[in-house]
Each structure stands twice: as C-alpha cells, then as structure tokens.
A and B are shown apart, each in its own frame.
Chain A
C-alpha cells in the first residue's frame, strides 16, 4: 500500500531564504509525482508534475526533483517571499490494476515566510 509522507509538518523562514520541502513515498512504482499548493481555506493548485522518467521539473523559483529508487522528492523554493506562505502537498497516483484515478497525498508542509 502506497504511503506518502512529508517532513517537516511546518516550517517558518525569513524572507529571501532558499528552502527545501521533502516528500517520501513507500512504493517506487509510480507514474509521476505532483506538488500542489493550498492556501488557507482554498483549493489545490498544481505546481509541478514530474513523470517517473524525469529527474526534475522547474517553474520559475520552484524546482522539484524526483528519485524513484530512494522514494523521495524535494521541492526547492528559491528566494522565498511572504506570498509563498501556504501548505505544500505532494501526491502520487494510485498505481496498478485497481487504479481508481486517485491521488495519494502526503499530509503537507505548512510554510510561513516572514517579511
């Protein structure tokens, strides 16, 4: 059974710092891994999707890496800004013959960037 874990649960940094969010998964047989952003009381916004054949994806100040063999992904945020404050979730699709099109989510890392 696939399990997705994110550490730390919360992170507070001063503005301008580079930071790394971690995501680990127990079953390396994944199609892809996604990072989402969730603002308080709001929906989920897809940030980056990394296919299993890729090592990393970049979008602006965000860079996500994927190491399938070790079951890990990281989200790197460069030059953090107060507007980056949100909860970041990683997720992988349920894999295999019983696929229900379900995303399996980690618990999320709540990031606070202080001005």
Chain B
C-alpha cells in the first residue's frame, strides 16, 4: 500500500530534550515536506526537500532541523524543544515537485507536547 508513515504518533516530552520524528514514504517520491498545524494558524510548512541531500527552509524553520540521506526518509529533528513547538506535525511527499499535476500525500500526523 502506498503510504507515508510517521513515528511516533504521539509524544510528550520536556523542554530541551532532543527528539526526532521519523517520516518514511514508499512511493519513490523525490519531494518531501514537513508541516505543522496549529489552531487558528492552519498548516504551515517547516522544511522541504526536493531530492536526496537537498533541503531548504519553509515558512517556520526556527528550532527545527531536517536531513535527507535517503530518498524514502525525511526525519524532523528538534534539538532543544520548547513549549511553543507543541503542535500536530505532518510529513508529506509528492512525485511532482511543484504540485502542478499531482497531490501531496500526507502521513497520519504526530502530536507533540513539550512541557
């Protein structure tokens, strides 16, 4: 089944404790992206990757890091989480880098709470 998977699905942590949210897709997509969703603010892009070893900042990259060492994986790293990073995080992938002809496929989401 074609899908985007994320782990963990739920995470409660404390301020300053480094964490990684994994994302993997099995559709051989070149393009991957991370969003966060917050009430009243909607979905906002954090980082994106056009291909292996190619990543760039989205609208709200502060406090996050990413890496793209393999085509299928795009982990999101929070080196020193803070309470304002409490959010619902989505990973997405697409075969079309500019989304002209195809949709983005979204993972199930990771709900992160930083105390």
By a beta-carbon cutoff of 8 Å, the part of chain A in contact with chain B is 31-32, 34, 36, 41-46, 49, 51, 89, 93, 99-103, 105-108
Q: List 7 A-B contacts (CB under 8 A).
A: A31-B100, A31-B101, A43-B107, A101-B96, A102-B45, A103-B92, A108-B42
Let me know if B74 is at the binding interface, CB within 8 A: no
Which residues does chain A contribute within 8 Å of B98, judged by CB atoms? 31, 93, 99, 101
CA distance A107 to B50 in the complex (A): 26
Given the known inter-chain contacts A43-B90, A102-B45, please indicate yes or no for A93 contacting B100, CB distance below 8 A.
Answer: yes
- Contact assessment for A42 and B99 in the assembled complex, using a CB-CB cutoff below 8 Å: no
Contact of A46 among B100, B101, B103, B108 (CB under 8 A): B103
Q: Which of A42, A103, A105 contacts B108 (CB 8 A)?
A: A42
Contacts of A89 in B (CB 8 A): 43
